[in-house]
Structure 1
Amino acid sequence: MMEADQNLFDRAVDQMTLRWPGASEAVAAAAYLDDGSILTGVSLDNFNAAMNLCAETGPICEAYSQGRRIVASICVSREPGRDGFTVLSPCGACQERLAIWGPTVEVGVSDASSSSGWSSRPLLAVNPYYWAAAFAEDDVWPSAAQHGS
């Protein structure tokens, strides 16, 4: 199984730098597909904050459109007053979006115990009490078919 690794981190940073080269605040994501290829995306910022989208949304929608499976994902942030980049654990909405590919999808999470400040964890470890497990046929995680994919 592929993990959220330094290569994925670097691809997210590259995408962020390409899209917002001089911005002091930005968010980008990168995801490995089941064939090892990588999709990247940036957050969609809008004057109406309710219309904003997480950076992971682009790669998730593209993978789904291609009928591909995401196996690992990472979201990286650059914020004013911070040196370098920060890995953002997936928000609840992105956890839900990634859940269609199952509990083994690896995601980058903030981890103060790691020398890099982040590590890779499977969704099941990030969300051990996933609400939809109540509907799973095996009481662990709903199947892709149950998710409607």
Structure 2
Amino acid sequence: MKVIEYCVDEKATCRLAANLGLLFKKNGLAGICIFLKGDLGAGKTTFTRYLLKSLGHVGNVKSPTYTLVEPYDLLGLNVYHFDLYRLADPEELEFMGIRDYFNTKSASLIEWPERGGDLLPQADFVIDIKYKDEGREYTIEAFTDTAKSYLNDFQRHD
């Protein structure tokens, strides 16, 4: 199941992220894993920034390009924002204890998930961002039963 949204500008991207944030506030975020895909500069971190703010984060959202992960305490959960762009080898994730991040008391947003190999869990959602005309096209795809029910709810209320 998937939803395709076109965002003409950053304001539209903010609205899309806020709508997803409302969905997570209503249905829960515990244990959810979101992969963010797209070319360099497509807007993965910008989308993540707006999503985290819609979930209640106040302050800056730093790109974890060099640190690999930035933690946030939101909705009573540990929400982790990963950026694996600079990862040289998926085995580096083992050294940081990557498996400990994925549990029912956390949620994860992972940029460049293809660089994590088999060490990442199955994504509940994959958000693929592509350049289109002057804006961006967001394809939000659900891969688990939970994600499919969320996305169905998103389509009914969007």
Note whether the superposition's TM-score is higher than 0.5: no
**TM-score bracket relative to the smaller structure:** 0.3 to 0.5
- Higher share of residues assigned strand: 2
Q: Which has the higher contact order (CA 8 A, sep 6+)?
A: 2
TM-score, length basis structure 2: 0.31
